[in-house]
Chain A
C-alpha cells in the first residue's frame, strides 16, 4: 500500500493467536465456544452493518440483548477477541477509555463460562462511528452497484445504490490507498466506510501499547513503508 500524508491511523484487529484460539474452539467437537443467541443478535446487527455505506450517521444498536457467551475453555484469557462480535475485557476497556459517545459497550452474559473467563468481564464492543478517511480520487477503488438492505430480503431485482468501495485486496496485488490529509477521526475507534476496517487513532494506539495489551494487533496502514509492504508493530 502506498499512502499519502494523513493523520496516523492504526488498523486494529485481534492477534493471530487470538483468532486461532477462537477458531479452534468454534471448530472443536463438541463445540468449545459459542454465542448462543447469535441468531437473535444477527437479526439486530445485520440491518445496521449492511446499511448504506455513505450514511455516516452513528450506527447504534437498539434493543440488543446481552450477548450470551458459552465456552468450556478456562484459558481463554485474551483481552480482545473476535467471536463474530468483538469482545473487550475490562482491562482493555480501561486502557481505551472509550465513552458512551465513542462506541457501544454492550452486555455480555458469561455466566456459563469458567471463572477465569468471567473475571475478564467482557463487553461486546460495537462501533457506532463510520467515517471515510480515503482520498477516493487517488485510491484504488471504484463505484459499484450495491444492495443496502437486509440480506434476507435480497432478490435479483432488488434496487441497488451506487457506492464507492476500496478495491478488493488481491493476493499479490498491492492496493494504492491514499488518505485525506484533512481527515479528522470522529472517535478514537471507528469503522472505515468502503472497507471493513476498524481504525484507531494514534493516541488510542499509543495507550494500548503503553499498557502492554498483547492481544490487540495494531498495524500502521497510513505510512508508506519500503521495501517490505507493511510494518507490524508489536506492543
Chain B
C-alpha cells in the first residue's frame, strides 16, 4: 500500500525532522549556507540526503574508517571548527562539506539534547552501536524516531497496527534502524523531503515487521493478577487474550466486565460460590475489547461507540461493586446454576452499560 504523503506527514514535528541538516546549520551558520555546501559537493562514498535536488542523488555516508577507502575519508580543511576536526579524526565515518564538517560527536550531542535522547542513548547500548560512527548515530536516532514518531506518521493506517508499544512497534523500530545504518539518510529523506520513494521503503519495513511479528493486532501488555481463592478467579493475559480473540484493527485493551478487583473484594464464600457455579474471570462472556487510545476510539470500527480503556477504572469498579452485592449475597444460598444465570445476566447488563457509560457520556471508562 502506498502511503499517501498527506497522511504520512501528519504528526511529524517540524524541526525534529531536520536532524542532520540542523547539525550542519549550527556549523555553517544558516540553512542557506548549508545548502550551498551540500549542492555540488559530491564525493564518492560521502554525502547526505539533502533537500530539493539532492533527493535525486542519494549517497552513502562514510562507514567505518577502517573499511573505507582513503579517498572516501573526509579531509579536514583549514579554518574548520576545531571540534569538528577532532570529530573527524576519530574512528568511524564523518562528513566533509567545503569548510564545514560534521562528525559523530557533533551528531551525538545533538541527539542527546532531544527529548527522545534517552531512547537514542539506550539504542547504542542495546544494539551495540558505535557513537563514533555517524551512520550508527543516524541508526540510533532512526530507532528513536520509529518508536515515538512512527505511530504518528502511520496514525490513520489502522491496517498496520503500529501502536506506541508492543511487538510491532519494536520490530519496526529495529528494522528502520538497521536500514538506516545500511543506507544512511533514508529516514531523513522521507521526513524532511517528503520523498515518496523513501517513505515507501519505510512503509515496506513496517509491513514486513507486522508480518514478522505474526500478529496483526496490538494488545496492551498486561500483568497476571492472582486470586488467593481460586485460579478460576485470576486474571491472566495469556488466557483472556486467547478467549477474547483480540482484534486486527487499532489498539485495544481487554476489559473484564466484572473486574478482578471487584471479585477479589468479595467475601470468600461468595467467590467460592462463583467458582462452584462454573464461572471464571477470564471467560469470554466476561470479556470485551475496548479501544485503548483516542485514535482507536474515534475511528473505525469503533466510531466512538465503546469507551476508551486507557488505564484503571476506579469509578466503574465502585459501581460494579455496588451492583454485585446482591448477586454475591444470594450466590451462597442458591444453586450453582442460578448463580451462573445471575452472573451471565450481570455480564450482559454491564456490556449494555458500556454504551451509556453508566449514565455519563464520557469518552473514557473511569
A28 within 8 A of B: no
Residues in A whose Cβ lies below 8 Å from that of B330: 156
B303 & A11 in contact (Cβ 8 Å cutoff): yes
B116 to nearest A CB, angstroms? 18
Can you identify 21 A-B contacts, CB atoms within 8 angstroms? A13-B304, A19-B297, A23-B308, A42-B360, A82-B362, A82-B363, A84-B362, A150-B359, A151-B319, A151-B358, A154-B323, A156-B345, A168-B351, A170-B247, A171-B217, A171-B296, A196-B304, A196-B355, A217-B298, A229-B300, A229-B301
B327 within 8 A of A: yes
B303 & A169 in contact (Cβ 8 Å cutoff): yes
The 8 A-B residue pairs whose C-beta atoms are closest, nearest first, are A171-B247, A46-B359, A172-B248, A84-B362, A230-B300, A19-B294, A16-B294, A172-B247
B348 within 8 A of A: yes
Chain A residues within 8 Å of B, Cβ to Cβ = 1, 11, 13-16, 19-20, 23, 27, 42, 45-47, 49-50, 82, 84-86, 144-147, 150-152, 154-156, 165-166, 168-175, 195-197, 217, 219, 221, 229-230, 232
Residues in A whose Cβ lies below 8 Å from that of B327: 156
Known contacts: A151-B358, A156-B346, A171-B289. The answer to whether A13 contacts B298 by CB under 8 A is yes
A147 to nearest B CB, angstroms? 6
Query: What is the CA–CA distance of A169 and B355 in the complex, to the nearest angstrom?
Result: 11
Known contacts: A19-B297, A197-B303. The answer to whether A45 contacts B217 by CB under 8 A is no
A38 to nearest B CB, angstroms? 8
B355 & A174 in contact (Cβ 8 Å cutoff): no
A154 & B349 in contact (Cβ 8 Å cutoff): yes
Chain B positions 285 through 324: 1 when the CB is less than 8 Å from some CB of chain A, otherwise 0 = 0001100001111111111111010110000000100110
B348 & A144 in contact (Cβ 8 Å cutoff): yes
Residues in B whose Cβ lies below 8 Å from that of A16: 294-295, 298
Partner of B249, one of A15, A19, A171: A171
Partner of B310, one of A23, A49, A165, A197: A23
B26 to nearest A CB, angstroms? 30
Residues in B whose Cβ lies below 8 Å from that of A197: 303-305
A147 & B349 in contact (Cβ 8 Å cutoff): yes
Residues in A whose Cβ lies below 8 Å from that of B288: 168
Partner of B352, one of A20, A23, A144, A156: A144
A174 & B359 in contact (Cβ 8 Å cutoff): no
Residue of A nearest to B353 (CB): A151
Query: What is the CA–CA distance of A38 and B342 in the complex, to the nearest angstrom?
Result: 32
Chain B residues within 8 Å of A, Cβ to Cβ = 156, 217, 246-250, 252, 288-289, 294-306, 308, 310-311, 319, 322-323, 326-327, 330, 342, 345-346, 348-349, 351-353, 355-364
Residues in A whose Cβ lies below 8 Å from that of B299: 219, 230, 232
Residues in B whose Cβ lies below 8 Å from that of A230: 299-300
B149 to nearest A CB, angstroms? 15
Query: What is the CA–CA distance of A77 and B288 in the complex, to the nearest angstrom?
Result: 35
Residue of B nearest to A46 (CB): B359
Partner of B359, one of A11, A20, A50, A86: A50
Residues in A whose Cβ lies below 8 Å from that of B296: 171
Residue of A nearest to B216 (CB): A172
Residue of A nearest to B307 (CB): A196
Query: What is the CA–CA distance of A195 and B354 in the complex, to the nearest angstrom?
Result: 11
Query: What is the CA–CA distance of A25 and B300 in the complex, to the nearest angstrom?
Result: 26
Query: What is the CA–CA distance of A160 and B237 in the complex, to the nearest angstrom?
Result: 33
A196 & B356 in contact (Cβ 8 Å cutoff): yes
Query: What is the CA–CA distance of A86 and B360 in the complex, to the nearest angstrom?
Result: 11
Known contacts: A23-B364, A42-B359. The answer to whether A156 contacts B249 by CB under 8 A is no
Residues in A whose Cβ lies below 8 Å from that of B310: 23
Residue of A nearest to B300 (CB): A230
Partner of B301, one of A14, A144, A171: A171
B166 to nearest A CB, angstroms? 14
Query: What is the CA–CA distance of A219 and B299 in the complex, to the nearest angstrom?
Result: 8
Max chain B C-beta neighbours (<10 A), residue from A86, A145, A171, A217: A171
B356 & A232 in contact (Cβ 8 Å cutoff): no
Query: What is the CA–CA distance of A11 and B302 in the complex, to the nearest angstrom?
Result: 12
Residue of A nearest to B305 (CB): A169
Query: What is the CA–CA distance of A42 and B359 in the complex, to the nearest angstrom?
Result: 7
Residues in B whose Cβ lies below 8 Å from that of A14: 363
Query: What is the CA–CA distance of A156 and B323 in the complex, to the nearest angstrom?
Result: 8
Residues in A whose Cβ lies below 8 Å from that of B355: 165, 168, 195-196
Residues in B whose Cβ lies below 8 Å from that of A19: 294, 297-298, 308, 363
Known contacts: A23-B294, A151-B358. The answer to whether A196 contacts B305 by CB under 8 A is yes
Residues in A whose Cβ lies below 8 Å from that of B322: 152
A35 to nearest B CB, angstroms? 10
